[in-house]
A and B are shown apart, each in its own frame.
Chain A
């Protein structure tokens, strides 16, 4: 703590930007896929793989993130860009501590969280119960959920066309379901917030509303990571960009510089 103080005294105006919140140190992430070994997927080949001695039989490894290092500071909004399958979402999950690292480490201040709750919701339950279930899954208390329930339902606009919140989610149109999911996910405040692309779903009106909500969340959060293929939204929101390609960190710097290089690379 003493160290902190002297740092703050020396550079009072820049102190905000100098407190690291996320440090990735030579991070490697490897996925293991069962039964996807190259070649035929027949029973006999599976059997021969089992009989053949090896380190891990019948398992194919996908090296999704290869030795990525960076330090993120408080108050930064960091964009992650790169072509499909370059490891952006995987990197986010590793930062959140949801995917175990093969090698290297991620250090974080508090618990970073992904904006998204889809996996916890059940289509057979009513919207009402999904709001509660999703809130609990994100770690909110019952009181917090009760407090925000109206807010969530109003924001989603589910009830604009009748009492839909008491119907099972499988009866919703895909747009309605997406709106409810976003509304639940965006109901919680986060320290380190990570947003994966394509969150602003639904009709034009809802897109505007959700973009505004993301801006609000960003203001409250200490550090924000944004994965997107939309260079414009990265330019609008981020002051620093990490460019990933084939799991490697190709470039890390101010938004304009990196995006310029990226656009050159993608031939745009």
Chain B
């Protein structure tokens, strides 16, 4: 190890750190402050949107039917669940058929939105190490972009959902406008959760193997294909309360309330207060997840 021969005379005697300070050099790859980070992330919004749309398009680009699968996949999904839970298991206790089928399909689509955001979130850093190690951008762009991709996917599913809902006699009405706030709140919740999962997944990629089981348990516990209060009426009341207050169940119930005629306020936990719970979950997860993700910003990319 030879000493650097080109150290200039005037800066002799300065340590490297002092030299850096003197010329205003900054530590490479240091974590920016929280507000600076938000600013950088906002500056990358075009990249985030373009990346999510690119991922969405690339998904079915090799299929013969192409982008038609965006709509066909959720439709087939709904069909399978209807076959098993509607016809074979007859989980539609407490509902008319005209209510149960849109109820089931809404549940499946809304839960899938959260489920796939979490799954994409786990892999958003660990599965894109090449990108993280080659280019500069606030790393939160990745989990945000993946949840955005899932949101766009859900919007395609909504087309199917509208058709089914109308087909079973719930026609468009003013309350359909409530879909927008539900989607916004759920998107915030999902993005926050995806950022938490992204940080965990970057340290422990094994989570990608574990999460499908966690998510499936969550799905069955959230009343995707049955009504929680009806199914649990002979159990202690607090169990149903806990299940109904969980964010996935709240977003599903609000979406059903907005769309389906026979699914009125009495099905919401605590009536209209359900909106406050939904907003609370969204703000808690979005803010908490963002800060939690940002705390490790300079460490992503080691692997």
Chain A residues with CB under 8 Å of chain B are 3-4, 7, 10-11, 14, 17-25, 31-32, 34, 69-71, 73, 93-101, 105-109, 111-114, 116-120, 122, 124-125, 129, 132-133, 136-139, 141-142, 168, 240, 248-254
Contacts and interface: CB of A to CB of B under 8 A. Distances in A.
B28 A106 contact: yes
B10 A7 contact: yes
List 6 tightest A-B contacts by C-beta distance, closest first: A97-B29, A107-B20, A97-B28, A107-B25, A119-B130, A124-B58
Given A97-B29, A118-B134, A137-B135, A253 B5 contact: yes
Nearest to B55: A122
Interface residues of B, number: 48
Interface string B98-133: 000000000000000000000000000000101111
Nearest to B131: A119
- Which of B2, B16, B135 neighbours the largest number of chain A CB atoms within 10 Å of its CB? B135
Given A31-B303, A107-B20, A108-B25, A240 B6 contact: yes
Nearest to B23: A20
Contacts of B24: 109
Contact of B25 (A20, A34, A138, A252): A20
A237 B16 CA distance: 27
Given A23-B25, A137-B47, A252-B2, A10 B10 contact: yes
A18 B10 contact: yes
A51 B51 CA distance: 41
Given A14-B8, A122-B58, A138-B135, 15 more contacts: A4-B22, A22-B25, A98-B29, A98-B134, A98-B135, A99-B302, A100-B301, A106-B28, A107-B27, A118-B130, A122-B55, A129-B57, A133-B47, A133-B54, A252-B5
B163 interface: no
Contacts of A98: 29, 132-136, 301
Q: Please classify the interface of chain A as helix (H, G, I), strand (E, B), loop, or mixed, using the class held by over half of its residues.
A: mixed
A248 B20 contact: no
12 contacts: A11-B8, A23-B25, A71-B4, A71-B7, A71-B19, A94-B29, A107-B25, A111-B136, A129-B54, A251-B2, A253-B2, A253-B5
B17 interface: yes
Given A71-B4, A99-B133, A142 B26 contact: no
Contact of B26 (A14, A71, A107, A124): A107
A129 B199 CA distance: 29
A109 to B, nearest CB: 5
Nearest to A29: B302
A100 B302 contact: yes
Contacts of A116: 134
B4 A125 contact: no
Nearest to A108: B28
Interface in B167-221: 205
Contacts, number: 163
A122 to B, nearest CB: 5
Interface in B1-48: 1-2, 4-8, 10-11, 16-17, 19-20, 22-30, 44, 46-47
Contact of A23 (B2, B19, B57, B130): B19
Given A120-B135, A129-B54, A11 B28 contact: no
B233 interface: no
B50 interface: yes
Nearest to B206: A34
B23 A4 contact: yes
B302 A96 contact: no
Contacts of A10: 10
Contacts of A114: 134-135
A173 to B, nearest CB: 19
A138 to B, nearest CB: 6
Interface in B286-303: 298-299, 301-303
B2 A32 contact: no
Nearest to A69: B16
B57 A93 contact: no
Contacts of A249: 1
Contact of A73 (B6, B17, B54, B134): B6
B134 A117 contact: yes
B57 A124 contact: yes
A101 B27 CA distance: 11
A71 B46 contact: no
A31 B61 CA distance: 35
Contacts of B25: 20-23, 107-109
A93 B302 contact: no
A142 B301 contact: no
Contacts of B17: 25, 105, 107
A123 to B, nearest CB: 8
A113 B131 contact: no
Contacts of A34: 205
Contacts of B137: 137, 139
A216 to B, nearest CB: 21
Nearest to B297: A100
Contacts of A113: 135-136
